[in-house]
Amino acid sequence: MEPEQRWQLRTGAGCELIIGRYPSFRYDATGGGGLSRPQIRGQENLQPLVFAAEGLVIPPLDASRGRFLGLPLPPGVSIQIQPDELAGELNISSGELRLHFRSRFRFTVGSPKRPLYQASDLLVDTQLTSGSVQSKRHSRSGRPLASDGSATLVGVATIEPCQDPWLNQFLGLPDEALALMHLTLERV
């Protein structure tokens, strides 16, 4: 019987987030990530991956990490990313990686602890893949896990309206969003 495996995921620079008709947000997610729960390798070289939401960190998209139209986001503008689920599988042979990602995106103006404005959460539920995604609005390709542990995942999600009418109108919700995440994944 195979021993249980644990994997360390680390998010990196060069990530992107596109919401609806807007241009891409460029994003440095360096410093994020988490440790998977121990899992036994499945059939056909498939390694299950389950990351505990409480131990998973995704840095906020803010003035220090994000750019829009080539410019840093204004100070005090922030999108915090609160992961609820990150789980899927890695094909050890091909490097193909698929992760179900469910998260809440929280837009704030001012300090995240004492915001001047905080929109209700946008719920994101997508399948991140090292393959390709194609939707009505977006298409992009990822990159399988390389020998150095690097990979690129892409995913498209439909963002449903939230409880904030202003944000819904501003973003034109419901609409699609595309995420591109550069990461490293290593056995520990």
pLDDT tens-digit readout, 57-110 = 999 999 999 999 999 999 999 999 999 999 999 999 999 999 999 999 999 999
What are the start-end ranges of the E strands in 12-142? 15-19, 25-27, 33-35, 39-40, 46-51, 66-68, 71-72, 77-91, 97-110, 115-118, 122-129, 132-134, 139-141
Peptide bond just before 75 cis, omega within 30 deg: no
Name the 3-class secondary structure at 64: coil
The pTM for the full model equals: 0.93
What secondary structure letter does DSSP report for 38? Answer: P
